[in-house]
């Protein structure tokens, strides 16, 4: 995210351009819905000249508006897409150019504007490899450019071990070495945010609604930061120990799993898919393989004798096997089971990984192929 520093005149020109661009997108969306057309080329034949003339857009802006609309319409063809006038506006190399690391040139309805940008120290080394289009975003009265850059992947490590990781609600993650990737501080913050949001929702005044929106954004930033930190620790640990990362395939878990009413808020609020995405791309950059297994019975199975029973979980936090008497923290036991299921299939994993020469095994291997213990 690159901050664009604008004076009042430049800000007004950019805002006006965004409004016209998104108004054009809404117009195109109406036509696409009426014609039931999700083909960019066919839709462009119908709306291109009208959009250019009516909204005073340049040729490439009109093309980008059509592309943005089609991409959104394809997600759900049963509804007419509607865009916020302050929605993101895509810029490609034809209507945007970088002037070194401190300035950018953007095309507006009033012509080209060259504006200074502020890039934080962390991102500066990556700005020598920008790729594709960027999105102009207006947030909190400030303009930003969301820049896509190439992140070259490291050579794949020679994995000799498996790091099983169990994802949960109380403990966000626990690995097969017993390390817990969350703590009381995170839980206290979650409880505090929930309490404030409940009070504001009961109040219902315009001021409370504004504050509620602000709290929601704060919660989103908090969740994103925690997931970044946890995923980074996982990948670093796996690389240092030459390990494959083994996770449960939790797709659709919210629909399948039932939890107590008191736990429902926590179960629905945490971004497990976001954590998974962070692990995937960080592992790809580090050259660490990632595999996903079928999560069935990992929390009810004993990691010692492999006896499966609901009775093995007397409480949420404890695991005591009714067959062999083995006991352990429940999340740690689940992480050991995840690790064991991958170790049992390690020759298959190693062969597939060698053939693919890539750290992403999840997309190439069905989760149930690793379900055996």
Across the 373 residues of the chain, what is the mean pLDDT of every consecutive 10-residue run?
92 95 95 92 93 94 95 91 93 89 90 88 62 86 87 74 85 88 71 81 83 81 87 92 87 56 54 85 89 87 90 88 89 91 71 48 40 35
Count how many Cα atoms sit within 13 Å of the Cα of residue 136 in the half-sphere of its side chain: 31
Pick the CATH number of 161-181+236-370 from 3.30.420, 3.30.70, 3.40.50, 1.10.3470: 3.30.420
CB distance 11 to 139 below 8 Å: no
Residue 207: partners with Cβ closer than 8 Å, 6 or more residues away: none
Q: Where in the chain is the domain with CATH 3.30.420?
A: 161-181+236-370
Q: Nearest Cα to 265, choosing from 211, 167, 165, 195?
A: 195
Let me know: does 127 contact 119? Beta carbons within 8 Å. Answer: yes
In this predicted structure, what is the pLDDT of residue 172? Answer: 84
User: Can you name the residues that pair with 3 across neighbouring β-strands?
Assistant: 118, 144
What pLDDT does residue 130 have? 59
């Amino acid at each position: 995210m690159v901050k664009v520093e604008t004076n009042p005149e430049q800000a007004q020109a950019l805002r006006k351009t965004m409004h016209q661009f998104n108004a054009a997108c809404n117009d195109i969306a109406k036509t696409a819905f009426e014609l039931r057309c999700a083909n960019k080329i066919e839709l462009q034949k119908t709306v291109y000249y009208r959009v250019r003339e009516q909204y005073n857009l340049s040729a490439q802006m009109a093309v980008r508006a059509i592309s943005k609309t089609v991409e959104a319409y394809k997600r759900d063809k049963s509804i007419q897409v509607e865009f916020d006038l302050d929605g993101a506006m895509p810029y490609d190399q034809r209507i945007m150019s970088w002037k070194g690391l401190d300035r950018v040139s953007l095309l507006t309805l009033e012509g080209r504007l060259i504006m200074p940008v502020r890039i934080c120290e962390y991102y500066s080394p990556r700005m020598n490899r920008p790729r594709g289009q960027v999105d102009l975003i207006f947030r909190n009265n400030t303009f930003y450019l969301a820049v896509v850059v190439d992140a070259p992947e490291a050579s794949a490590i020679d994995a000799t071990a498996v790091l099983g990781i169990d994802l949960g609600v109380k403990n966000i993650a626990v690995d097969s070495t017993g390390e817990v990737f969350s703590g009381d501080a995170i839980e206290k913050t979650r409880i505090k945010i929930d309490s404030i949001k409940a009070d504001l929702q009961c109040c219902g005044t315009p001021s409370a609604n504004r504050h509620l929106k602000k709290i929601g954004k704060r919660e989103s930033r908090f969740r994103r930061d925690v997931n970044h930190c946890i995923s980074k620790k996982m990948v670093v640990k796996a690389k240092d120990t030459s390990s494959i990362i083994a996770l449960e395939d939790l797709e659709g878990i919210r629909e399948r799993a039932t939890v107590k009413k008191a736990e429902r808020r926590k179960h629905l609020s945490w971004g497990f898919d976001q954590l998974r995405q962070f692990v995937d791309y960080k592992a790809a950059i580090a050259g660490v393989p990632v595999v996903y297994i079928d999560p069935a019975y990992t929390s009810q199975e004993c990691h010692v004798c492999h006896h499966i029973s609901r009775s093995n979980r007397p409480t949420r936090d404890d695991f005591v096997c009714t067959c062999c008497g083995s006991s352990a923290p429940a999340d740690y036991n689940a992480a050991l089971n995840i690790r064991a299921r991958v170790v049992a299939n390690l020759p298959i994993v190693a062969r597939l990984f060698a053939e693919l020469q890539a750290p992403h095994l999840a997309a190439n291997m069905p989760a149930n192929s690793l379900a055996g213990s």
